[in-house]
Amino acid sequence: MIRQVWPAARELAQHDLEQLYRYPADPRWLAVNFVSSTDGAITVEGRSGALSTPADRIVYRLGNDLADVVLVGAGTAMAEGFEGMRPDAASADRRRRFGLAPIAPVAVVTTGRSLPPDAPVITKAAVPTLVFTSAAAPSELRAAWAANGARVFVVGEAAVSAEGVVSTLVAEGLGRIDCEGGPRLFGSLIEAGVVDEFRLTVAPFLVAGSASRAAVGGAVDPAGLELASVLTDGASVLLRYLVPH
């Protein structure tokens, strides 16, 4: 059972969780999701799955189910074996109740080097994957992504423009964006000032080692966040922060 401990202590039913994690009616809302060990690691042997807990999987699924699109970096898509969204009966019902398309597409951000043409996120996706890259990516690679079923967007010259990715998704009618990393993508979104919400699960593990942090990239001036909610199942802590604009 997940309960809210702030701003008001209460037990949460499925309906309460859906209302808490639903996306606002804004034309654009970008929520970033991460799970972290208590000592700050976001992966174990390069993957986040070992850190995920039952409570984290509940809110992770809510992020998928209630979004128009799932945004992910190519490195994370490959490391985690992304194959696109395949809603089960419960997820399909949730998407129907919230007036969403039956299946959310995946949007992958890549420089080109880390996304082969036969990546599972392209070839095994139930709906066409959106690939965002820059003009520096070889034209033959862009053609190969498209030949395998992806919709390819060039946003930026030497590097992918995070702002261009988000504005293109909004123009495509995919304004409720669930970003699932990785750290470089998250860092670029922070730099571009397009993150609206940060959802962090603190899992009850100590990892040590040299695992990455949630966001990497150019440094930005520290900006204060607004704590929106704190939940727990008695082991994990589920935090939601809003980013003031």
**Tens of pLDDT, residues 35-69:** 999 998 888 877 777 888 999 999 999 999 999 99
Whole-number pLDDT of residue 236: 97
Q: Which residue has the tokens 């189910």?
A: 65
3-state secondary structure of 70: strand
Residue 7 has pLDDT above 90, yes or no: yes
Whole-number pLDDT of residue 2: 96
CA–CA dist 94, 65 (Å, integer): 7
> What band does 223 get if pLDDT is binned at 50, 70 and 90?
confident
Helix axes 54-65, 89-97, angle to 10 degrees: 50
Domain that holds residue 160: 26-242
Whether 77 is in a domain gets the answer yes
Whether 34 is in a domain gets the answer yes
- Total count of domains within the chain: 1
Residue 220 has pLDDT above 80, yes or no: no
- CATH number of 99's domain: 3.40.430.10
CA–CA dist 212, 183 (Å, integer): 8
**Tens of pLDDT, residues 125-180:** 999 999 999 999 999 999 999 999 999 999 999 999 999 999 999 999 999 999 99
User: Within a 10 A sphere around the Cβ of 239, how many other Cβ atoms?
Assistant: 18
More confident residue, 212 or 235: 235
Whether 209 is in a domain gets the answer yes
Whole-number pLDDT of residue 68: 98
Whether 19 is in a domain gets the answer no
User: Cα 48 from chain centroid?
Assistant: 13
Residue 218 has pLDDT above 80, yes or no: no
Q: Report the candidate in 6, 89, 4 with the shortest Cα–Cα distance to residue 55.
A: 4
Whether 14 is in a domain gets the answer no
CA–CA dist 196, 25 (Å, integer): 13
**Tens of pLDDT, residues 64-122:** 999 999 999 999 999 888 899 999 999 999 999 999 999 999 999 999 889 999 999 99
Whether 193 is in a domain gets the answer yes
Whole-number pLDDT of residue 216: 82
Q: What is the pTM of this model?
A: 0.95
CA atoms within 13 A on the CB side of 217: 17
Residue 200 has pLDDT above 80, yes or no: yes
Whether 33 is in a domain gets the answer yes
DSSP state of 98: T
Mean pLDDT of 228-242: 97
Whether 40 is in a domain gets the answer yes
